[in-house]
Structure 1
Amino acid sequence: MVYNASTDKWYQYFNADGPQWLILLGVYGFRALWATLGICFDFGIVYITVKSKSLRSICNILIAMESAFALILNIGYYVSFLVVLSGIKFIRYEYCFWYLIVPCLFGDVAQLLMVFTGVDRLCCVVFPVWYKMRRAKYYLTFVWVVLCCYATYDYIINYIDYLNSKDFILSCTTNEMGNGGMGTLMKINGLTFSGTLMVLYSLCWFTVFRLNVTSKNVNSNNRKLIKSLIFIIGLNLIGVFIKSIVNMTFQNFVVVNVFIKTAFSIAFSFLTITVYSANAPVLYIVSNVYRTRFNQHFTWLQKLFGKNTVVTTVSSVQSISSTISKLRQNSKQSGGANATLALVMMRIFSCGRHRNANLHHI
């Protein structure tokens, strides 16, 4: 593709001497701050998953992997801010490709992980017996192999695109990639993933909340987790699916002013950051399990939001009270049951002391 910087009105306007470059600095600076917030959210998911034994299911691991990859994608948004801040403003794609390819690959692979998470939730509901018997080690190995294969394919098409667009002058951000002829294929890949996610989570919604045969196999925690994921996928449709359609339309079918096209691209980059950072806030709000672990490892969250994290303790106390009542009824029929009741009570209070001691660490 032949590129002529003299006809690039966006480049000519913002590269000229004058205060207009401050607009880029403000926009990219705010986007870097937004990405920083996303990095904090993604790090939080990864951290509590590593530190909590209760978050070691395949689904939890897939969510943590997605957040880890999204974290790297969000780091990539610092590059454009630093380029503008340095006063350079724009650089050739030939040089910035190598700064962008890593966050780009991790972002695309994170999209594939969303698909795997959807498959995992659907299998959990539709094939519960097989799901419980499967080997997590083998399944995660299969996931890693697929991710590596897709990352290789993604790198190849990005590199081919780079070879055909080395001369483009850019601010060096991932949303500016795909100008060398492979852009349409890249956007089709994004649309394919988003379409697959729509189908998967529509099936999850139907089998969990509408189909009685399968919904009875789903406990309340899994219901809340699936609700969270459906909401996140809804954001994905805005941040990735619609973005891909708009960009592909502008690139192939409709001629628009470069300022409008670039403004849309920048606006959608904010949505992309939001989508790839949504796991932590959504799961914190909806999932008791995740909220408890967040409050346990980041104690200031409980002070900030006033959330009660001892849901499991309360339910345990209710269960204990029910057990005591049953034992008391049985003790009326058998004198020997009094000794059993006393022993159980001692164990309960011993457990209670251990729980209270542990709560000081939460």
Structure 2
Amino acid sequence: MLKYTEVSKAFGELVAVNKLNLNVEAGTILGFLGPNGAGKTTTIKMSCGLVKPTYGDIEAFGISISKSRKKYIKNIGAVLEGNRNIYWRLTPIENMEYFAGLRGISRKKIREKMDEYLEIFNLKEKRNVECGKLSRGMQQKAAICCAMIHEPRILFLDEPTLGLDVESVDSMENIIKKIISKDRIIIITSHDLKFVSDLCNRITIIHKGVLVLDKDISFLESYSDNITYIIETQVLQQEIKNDIHKNFPVYIEDNNNKTQIRITLKEDNEILEILNYLKEISIKLFNIRKVNFELKDVFMDIIKGTMGNMQEAILIFKGELKKCLYLKKDIY
């Protein structure tokens, strides 16, 4: 189990992560989601021992990072910058040997493991090709091989599909399914919500440093009773957008000289209310269509619904932070 207990991080007055409590069981592929600046990267860096929490603790299979950092880190593997995690002038084999050496593992001990990973990741034919000459997808795979060479029980993958074509995304999904096991945890951050919903068996969402959702992926089935429409209109002025936001549960964005209004409803006939509203203010409609339910709908609904009480939570945290600093509690 990966366990977060009251994990918090502040950079001066900026609260990046606020009292995170989370337990992740072995066998889980967790989609760790949130908008930009939500605290995802800070959480992962704390989990990998790269950033110290202001207070709180993280445990990996019973080993505390605050009490036994070296033993804790042995359980952790991470690809934090995709293909930038490897040395481009080295081959996949040489990269794996190098990263194993950093952990004190001899070439002899990892030879069999390297062959296994080259087979799983379809890199056998490229084993002696410099990584800088490989495709983006193959570079991502080589980076994951290096992160797994010491056989960690917890693997963090930050944007594993970034820059990949459709075929490479499918390949990445199949590979992650192969490397998950009953005693391993894989945590994925990604803006590709379809990839996350197809692959992960659990979803968490963090927003402004606060955990706002932690659910098994099956919760999407009950959520899908809602109905989502996309309404395309003339480009709307900001004042009109603000009025629509006040009156309806919508997400609005401008796209190709049009405004798209995405609205999630309980009943089909509820769409008439917003259509009548738009007609009354003489807004020109280009198109309206019902769309299949997606994780994106949940994501946007939750993010819109968490804006209100966030400032109060941050103020409470700052008060506790000052007390923590005053008492000079440093977990390291």
> What TM bracket, shorter-length normalisation?
under 0.3
Structure 1 or 2: more strand by fraction: 2
Greater radius of gyration (CA)? 1
